[in-house]
Amino acid sequence: MDHHLGCVNVVRWSNDGRFLASAGDDKLIMIWQKSAFSGGSIFGGGGKVHVEHWRLHQTLRGHNGDVLDLAWGPGDVVLATASVDNSIIIWNAERLPEQITILRGHTSLVKGNINLIWYKL
């Protein structure tokens, strides 16, 4: 999982565990999915060790600054991302990379606790 071009600031599992989202200083959100080719052994390990392999499923572009937090919504139908560009983007997780809306009301960077957004909706 080495496709990011900068520091990774946040990693979150989807609620159903099928996907893993990561985001960072490269302004990108990457959605990962476990590969069907998981498993195998570690060289020199002397035995079978379960090794998972993940593949890049989707790369989301929409922020103009570092992405500091993200949260999957109930049922994994939406994904919210927060950035130092003072915005929150709500993504349609069922039709990525479709954006549902961009929340621009902040006068400074949005840096954490975005998971609380779902309690307000």
Q: For 18-54, how does the pLDDT look when each residue is reduced to its tens digit (9 = 90+)?
A: 999 999 999 999 999 988 765 555 555 566 666 788 8
Q: Are 68 and 112 in contact (CB under 8 A)?
A: yes
Q: What is the CA radius of gyration of the chain?
A: 16
Q: For 97-112, how does the pLDDT look when each residue is reduced to its tens digit (9 = 90+)?
A: 999 999 998 888 887 7
More confident residue, 83 or 44: 83
- In angstroms, rounded to a whole number, what is the distance separating the alpha carbons of residues 27 and 39? 32
pLDDT > 80? residue 113: no
Q: Residue 75 corresponds to which tokens in the numbers above? A: 């049922």
Q: Residue 41 corresponds to which tokens in the numbers above? A: 């052994």
Evaluated on CA atoms 77, 12, 26, 109, the torsion sign reads: positive
pTM value is 0.82
